[in-house]
Amino acid sequence: MSDKIKISEEELIVSLKSGDQASLGILYDNYSAALFGVIIRIVESQENAEDVLQEVFVKIWRNISSYDRSKGKLYTWLINIARNSAIDSLRVKDYKLKSQIRNIDDSVNRINKQYSFSIHPDHIGLKALVDKMKPEYKLLIDKLYFEGYTQEEAAEELNIPLGTVKTRIRSAISQLREIFMGEQALK
């Protein structure tokens, strides 16, 4: 067992509040194992727990003047600082992780926008090809592909059965393919 200097809690508090650095060593020797135990149960990493323990003793040193014996024992005050610091370290770690994920998502979205392109039907002459179709096919193609209707919505809008819409769309796509192939043959 190590040689711990034995002084009363009252003397230790007075010594710490007066700024005696040797008293911080005494505090560390007497309480670090207990504080470390609390911290490691929360952060679950030896390395992180050691970092948090160091931060805890810095906080204790800087804030010892705010310790009020009438509100509780020194040990309880120390444990609360250790517990809160460990929880804060997890929050910071979680925030950094979420921030990195958000940054990756932003980068992907930026790249996608930068290199994306959209096909406009007019650029490839699709509208001109559709204009050559039978009127009932042209009307369905316009509704479904250019206006964004679903087959159900088109059936309701045009007051025709859904089965008829599906059959006409299949026929329309076949006719569009034929018109397109005919146009390609002419080029």
pLDDT of residue 184: 63
- Class of domain 126-186 as given by CATH: mainly alpha
Cα dihedral value 85, 86, 87, 92, nearest 10 = 80
The domain ranges of the chain are 9-114, 126-186
The tokens for 138 are 């042209």
Q: Quote the pTM value.
A: 0.50
Taking the C-alpha atoms of residue 160 and residue 149, their distance in angstroms, rounded to an integer, is 14
Query: pLDDT by residue (tens digit) across 123-154?
Result: 456 777 778 888 888 888 888 877 888 889 88
Query: For 140, how many CA atoms within 13 A lie in the half-sphere containing its CB?
Result: 25
The fold for domain 9-114 equals Rna Polymerase Sigma Factor; Chain: A (1.10.1740)
25: how many CB neighbours lie within 10 A of its CB? Answer: 11
Predicted confidence band of residue 1 (pLDDT cuts 50, 70, 90): very low
